[in-house]
Structure 1
Amino acid sequence: MSAAEFITVSNKNGIATITLNRPDLRNAINDQMRAELIEAFNEAGADKEVRGIILTGAGKGFCSGGDIGGMRARLDAPAGEVAFNGWKRQQSTHRGVAAIHGISKPVIAAVNGAAFGLGLDMALACDFIIAAEGAKMSMSFVKRGLVSDGGGMYFLPRRVGLAKAKELILTAKVVETEEALRIGMIDRVATPEALLEQAQAWAEELTIGSPAAIALTKEIIDRTFESTDEQVFSMGRKAQAICYTTAEHRKSVEDFLNKTSK
Structure 2
Amino acid sequence: MTYQLIEFSVDAGVATIALNRPDRRNAMSDDMRSEFVSALQTVAYDKAIRALVLSGRGSAFCAGGDISGMKRRLESPQGEVAFNGWSRQQGVHRVQSLLLNLPKPTIAAVNGAAAGLGADTALACDFLIGSERSKFTWSYIKRGLIPDGGGLYFLPRRVGLPKAKELIFTGRMVEADEALALGIIDRKVPSAELLAAAQAWAAELAQASSTALALGKRILNESFERSAHEIFDLGSQAQAICYTSAEHREAVMAFLAKSEAKE
Q: Same fold (TM over 0.5)?
A: yes
Aligned-residue Cα RMSD (Å) equals 0.7
Q: In the TM superposition, what whole-angstrom CA distance separates every residue of 1:156-204 from its partner, at most 9, and x where no partner exists?
A: 0000000000000000010000000001111111111000111011111
Aligned length: 261
Q: Does 1:3 align with 2:15?
A: no
| Alignment correspondent of 1:199 | 198
Q: In the TM superposition, what whole-angstrom CA distance separates every residue of 1:61-90 from its partner, at most 9, and x where no partner exists?
A: 000000000000000000000001000000
Structure 2: distance between partners of 1:220 and 1:193: 35
Structure 2: distance between partners of 1:93 and 1:63: 14
The one-letter code matched in structure 1 to 2:10 is: N
The range that moved more, 140-149 or 249-258, is 249-258
Q: In the TM superposition, what whole-angstrom CA distance separates every residue of 1:84-127 from its partner, at most 9, and x where no partner exists?
A: 10000001110011111110000000000000000000000000
Structure 2: distance between partners of 1:101 and 1:126: 6
The range that moved more, 236-245 or 206-215, is 206-215
Structure 2: distance between partners of 1:114 and 1:98: 22
Structure 2: distance between partners of 1:186 and 1:259: 38
The one-letter code matched in structure 1 to 2:123 is: L
| Alignment correspondent of 1:150 | 149
Q: Give the superposition deviation at 1:261.
A: 2.1
The one-letter code matched in structure 1 to 2:233 is: S
| Alignment correspondent of 1:19 | 18
Structure 2: distance between partners of 1:109 and 1:190: 13
The secondary structure found in structure 2 opposite 1:185 is coil
Structure 2: distance between partners of 1:200 and 1:51: 12
Q: Give the superposition deviation at 1:136.
A: 1.5
- Identity across the alignment (%): 54
The range that moved more, 201-210 or 20-29, is 201-210
| Alignment correspondent of 2:226 | 227
Q: Give the superposition deviation at 1:215.
A: 0.2
| Alignment correspondent of 2:72 | 73
Structural mapping, 1:77-226, within 5 Å: 77-226=76-225
Structure 1: distance between partners of 2:46 and 2:214: 14
Q: Give the superposition deviation at 1:7.
A: 1.2
| Alignment correspondent of 1:249 | 248
Q: Does 1:238 align with 2:237?
A: yes
Q: Give the superposition deviation at 1:135.
A: 1.7
The secondary structure found in structure 2 opposite 1:62 is strand
Structure 2: distance between partners of 1:44 and 1:119: 20
Structure 1: distance between partners of 2:218 and 2:235: 10
TM-score by length of 1: 0.98
Structure 1: distance between partners of 2:11 and 2:190: 21
The one-letter code matched in structure 2 to 1:136 is: K
Q: Could you list the runs of 5+ residues in structure 1 that have no partner in the other structure?
A: none
| Alignment correspondent of 1:28 | 27
Q: Could you list the runs of 5+ residues in structure 2 that have no partner in the other structure?
A: none
The one-letter code matched in structure 2 to 1:45 is: A
Structure 1: distance between partners of 2:208 and 2:3: 31
Q: Give the superposition deviation at 1:251.
A: 0.9
Q: Give the superposition deviation at 1:252.
A: 1.1
